[in-house]
Amino acid sequence: MSKSGREIELKLELDPAAQDVIKRTGTIEGFAAGRAVSKTLRSIYFDTSDQALRKAGISLRVRKSGRSWLQTVKIGTGVKGGLSSPVEAEHPVTGRALDFSVIDDPAVTDKLAETIGTARLTECFETVMKRTTRQLTRHSDGARIELAFDTGTILAGNGSQPLSELEMELKSGPSLALFEAAKAALKDAPFRFSPFSKAERGYRFAEGRELQEDAPCFAGSLTLATGISVEIAFRDVLRSCLAQISENRLAVLAGDHPQGPHQLRVGLRRLRSAFRLFKPVLNPATMAPLDRVARAIAAEAGALRDLDVLIDEIVTPLAEKAPESISFQALLEHLSASRGDEAREALRGHLRSAEVSGFLLDLAAYTECRGWLDPQNLDQSALLAQPIETYAGRAMAKQWKKVLKYGKRLEDLSIPERHEMRKALKKMRYGVEFFGCLYPRDRVKPFLKRMKKLQDVFGYLNDVAMAEKLPQTYGTSGERQAIQAIGFVIGWHEAQSQAMWQHARGYWEDTRKTPKFWK
């Protein structure tokens, strides 16, 4: 018996303890669950010495279950937002050795022959997993999903790495059913969308590259292929935002690195900026709930990030500049306690919630299942199908117009208006990051360089505004030493900000005169 076809899987990584809780629950709301079946799987992965299969997005393995061996070829093994849909060809074999003669799909054998050529295949690494599966059937439409809990190790050389993963494979029904089943099963269990297949994780472990739970995740460079549609470009932007948000959620939960909350907020801001930039082609009814939760999480992450900046960049550096008669100890102790006891725990509490888990799965479903479609908008199909280059130019021009509105009155801006210009510049910056890859680098770089200088001024002014609120946060009954330190901090930074503001006009004129790369 053989199997060949395209599978759709949602791959999630979660703590083994959380996995055990879900396994023991037994019931998943909205679904009928079959009997749990457990078995041990041993998989051996093969490749050439120069990893030709890996480079081609192909995984090749033999897997032992009980006394039986099964050979599997997966073509197109990339994972996006935890979702993969490779072409899979499975055939029984007699042992752990490969046997291409059993493959009955010429397209698969031709692809293997083309990729491998005359190179020799060898064993690269293996995985040993205990797999517990349950078959889910949705009451409403009969959608069928296989729920598989994998707990085990990756083995390479003399080393091993634990792996705990939840795989959900769609057997029949809409792709959306995968995310809805995951949402019902996971509830408030923190998880990671698997960025890699088991094969890729094996390669990385063999190379000594391991994922760090508390490592902050920075936005990767975005590359949009020339000529793609607006819809595909929007999907790729969303995937980038989702990866940054979900990874930094775990970074905040696992450690105290200040970049964790910062990059979480950046990811959420990038997402909300994407919603604004693509708003003319989206369904506002499906976008609004996601935007609302993103805004709430960003506000909490921002509160912690603002404390980090206040302590590490505004207050602490001045301890060495202040006269010996002014002590910063009491002020720093108070701020550090606020950061640890209040802001960080408030953020972590929300990030552990079912609301945030649901938001991530809803965003993934929105991204992969075309959640932006609007049946009431008869023009939407044409708008989504237009080339991204055409749309990007108009979107950038529109955002620049918002910046220009404030820039023309730069010297007369009120404090709230300066804040609005700072936000407009940020959205412009994210637009450059999204669409800049569509234009020649030598045209994008000068504009981005000058705009960054202007952003630095507005960013510093915002930080100083936080320092000015220190008397409110510390209270009137604070220690005399702390009150003196606050006075020094505010006075020093006020003088610095006035000096920096003198440069703002020059930076603005440089930015305004720089050729706009999107024109």
Per-residue HEC secondary structure of 379-438 comes to: CHHHHHHCEHHHHHHHHHHHHHHHHHHHHCCHHHCCHHHHHHHHHHHHHHHHHHHHHHHH
CA 291 from chain center: how many Å?
Answer: 15
- Domain with 247, as residue range(s), is 230-513
DSSP letters along 311-362, please? IIIIIGGGGTTS-TT---HHHHHHHHHHIIIIIHHHHHHHHTSHHHHHHHHH
Give me the pLDDT at residue 211, please.
63
Q: How far apart are CA 516 and CA 510, in angstroms?
A: 12
Residues 191-202 have a mean pLDDT of 86
Query: What does the block give as tokens for 85?
Result: 């849909």
- Identify the bridge partners of residue 46 per DSSP, sorted by sequence position: 123
Pair 409, 300 in one domain: yes
Q: How far apart are CA 438 and CA 72, in angstroms?
A: 38
For the chain, give the longest Cα–Cα distance: 84
Note whether residue 154 is domain-resident.
yes
> φ and ψ at 508, to 5 degrees?
-65, -45
Alpha-carbon Rg for the chain, nearest whole angstrom, is 27
CA 161 from chain center: how many Å?
Answer: 24
Q: Does residue 79 carry a pLDDT above 70? A: no
pLDDT classification of 212: cutoffs 50, 70, 90: low
Q: Does residue 477 carry a pLDDT above 70? A: no
Q: How far apart are CA 400 and CA 406, in angstroms?
A: 10
Q: Which residue has the higher pLDDT, 333 or 518?
A: 518
pLDDT classification of 3: cutoffs 50, 70, 90: low
Q: Does residue 4 carry a pLDDT above 80? A: no
β-bridge pairing 159-172 and 31-33: unpaired
Give me the pLDDT at residue 1, please.
46
Give me the pLDDT at residue 245, please.
95
Pair 169, 237 in one domain: no
Give the Cβ contact number of residue 174 at 10 Å: 13
Lowest mean pLDDT among 191-195, 251-255, 348-352, 355-359: 191-195
CA distances from 470 to 100, 246, 464, 483 (A): 71, 32, 10, 9
Residues 294-316 have a mean pLDDT of 91
Pair 313, 404 in one domain: yes
Residues 335-369 have pLDDT tens digits of 888 776 677 888 999 999 999 999 999 999 999 99
Q: How far apart are CA 15 and CA 149, in angstroms?
A: 11
Residues 270-286 have a mean pLDDT of 97
Position 83, amino acid: L
Q: What is the count of structural domains for the chain?
A: 2
Pair 153, 265 in one domain: no
* Residue % of the chain over a pLDDT of 90: 65
DSSP code, position 310: I
In this structure, are residues 127 and 198 in contact, taking their beta carbons and an 8 Å threshold?
yes
Lowest mean pLDDT among 106-115, 470-479, 490-499: 470-479
Alpha helices (H) along 100-175: 106-116
> φ and ψ at 217, to 5 degrees?
-110, 120
Residues 230-258 have a mean pLDDT of 93
pLDDT classification of 499: cutoffs 50, 70, 90: confident
pLDDT classification of 86: cutoffs 50, 70, 90: confident
Note whether residue 97 is domain-resident.
yes
Look-up of token digits 């902050």 = 216
pLDDT classification of 515: cutoffs 50, 70, 90: very high
Pair 17, 129 in one domain: yes
In this structure, are residues 310 and 338 in contact, taking their beta carbons and an 8 Å threshold?
no
Pair 194, 235 in one domain: no
Note whether residue 92 is domain-resident.
yes
Q: Does residue 267 carry a pLDDT above 90? A: yes
Q: How far apart are CA 193 and CA 116, in angstroms?
A: 31
Note whether residue 220 is domain-resident.
no
Pair 190, 255 in one domain: no
Q: How far apart are CA 45 and CA 123, in angstroms?
A: 6
Name, in order, each residue with C-beta under 8 angstroms of 394's C-beta and a sequence gap of 6 or more. none
Pair 164, 269 in one domain: no
Residues 135-150 have pLDDT tens digits of 999 999 999 999 999 9
In this structure, are residues 98 and 79 in contact, taking their beta carbons and an 8 Å threshold?
no
Pair 275, 417 in one domain: yes
- Identify the bridge partners of residue 197 per DSSP, sorted by sequence position: none
Residues 94-122 have a mean pLDDT of 95
Q: Does residue 70 carry a pLDDT above 50? A: yes
Name, in order, each residue with C-beta under 8 angstroms of 143's C-beta and a sequence gap of 6 or more. 137, 170, 172, 173, 174, 177
Q: How far apart are CA 400 and CA 340, in angstroms?
A: 39
Note whether residue 213 is domain-resident.
no
Q: Which of 212, 235, 208 is nearest to 224 (CA)?
A: 235
Q: Does residue 476 carry a pLDDT above 80? A: no
Residues 76-96 have a mean pLDDT of 81
Pair 175, 268 in one domain: no
In this structure, are residues 107 and 138 in contact, taking their beta carbons and an 8 Å threshold?
no
> Which CATH number belongs to the domain containing residue 29 in this structure?
2.40.320.10
Q: Does residue 306 carry a pLDDT above 90? A: no
Give the Cβ contact number of residue 28 at 10 Å: 22
Give me the pLDDT at residue 338, please.
75
Position 168, amino acid: M
Q: Which of 204, 207, 139 is nearest to 173 (CA)?
A: 139
In this structure, are residues 90 and 3 in contact, taking their beta carbons and an 8 Å threshold?
yes
Note whether residue 218 is domain-resident.
no
Residues 11-15 have a mean pLDDT of 87
Position 259, amino acid: Q
Q: How far apart are CA 201 and CA 56, in angstroms?
A: 16
Give me the pLDDT at residue 474, please.
62
pLDDT classification of 475: cutoffs 50, 70, 90: low
Pair 119, 73 in one domain: yes
Please say which residue of 206, 241, 267 terminates a domain.
Answer: 206
Pair 398, 462 in one domain: yes
Look-up of token digits 């030709």 = 52
